[in-house]
């Protein structure tokens, strides 16, 4: 979901092979989250991710791993901002993000168990 005036990139991102963004995936799996206040900070360390997000006009982002009930990673929640310095969340905001993460994980498990 995007705000009015912001272009959605969901369709083109759904099938990005993980092998195209290895540094990003490795870091996300190791750290369980990635917080980037300024996209330019990852230009050298994660060039593929930088190029992908730069093409979407992302200035800052916060990504956090989603896990199944066994603790295995199954995806990630991405909060992306067109401006820089938008990921310095207050404790309350971070708690809300974590609630959203747990809500998504719980409901994905319910969907899988119904099949």
Residues 97, 62 contacting (CB under 8 angstroms): yes
Q: What is the pLDDT of residue 90?
A: 95
* 76 within some domain: yes
Number of domains in the chain: 1
Can you tell me the distance from the alpha carbon of 31 to that of 106, in angstroms, rounded to the nearest whole number? 21
Reported pTM: 0.82
Q: What backbone torsions phi and psi does residue 104 show, to the nearest 5 degrees?
A: -65, -50
- Within-domain flag for 12: no
Which CATH number do you get for residue 88? Answer: 3.30.450.40
In a domain, 4, yes or no: no
pLDDT digits (tens, 9 = 90+) for 20-60: 578 888 999 999 999 999 999 999 999 989 998 998 899 99
pLDDT number for residue 7: 61
Does residue 107 fall inside a structural domain?
Answer: yes
Q: What average pLDDT score do residues 67-88 get?
A: 92
Inside any domain, residue 2:
no
Q: Return mean pLDDT, the chain.
A: 86
Q: Which residue has the higher pLDDT, 114 or 99?
A: 99
Domain housing 65: 18-114
- What SS3 class is residue 26? helix
Instruction: Give the separation between CA 54 and CA 49, rounded to whole angstroms.
Output: 8
Whether pLDDT at 109 is above 90: no
């Amino acid at each position: 979901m995007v705000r009015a005036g912001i272009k959605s990139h969901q369709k083109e991102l759904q099938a990005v092979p993980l092998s195209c963004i290895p540094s990003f995936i490795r870091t996300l799996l190791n750290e369980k989250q990635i917080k980037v206040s300024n996209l330019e900070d990852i230009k050298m360390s994660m060039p593929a991710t930088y190029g992908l997000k730069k093409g979407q006009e992302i200035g800052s982002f916060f990504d956090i791993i989603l896990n199944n009930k066994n603790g295995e990673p199954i995806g990630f929640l991405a909060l992306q901002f067109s401006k820089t310095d938008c990921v310095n969340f207050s404790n309350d905001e971070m708690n809300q993000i974590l609630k959203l993460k747990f809500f998504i994980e719980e409901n994905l498990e319910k969907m899988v168990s119904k099949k």
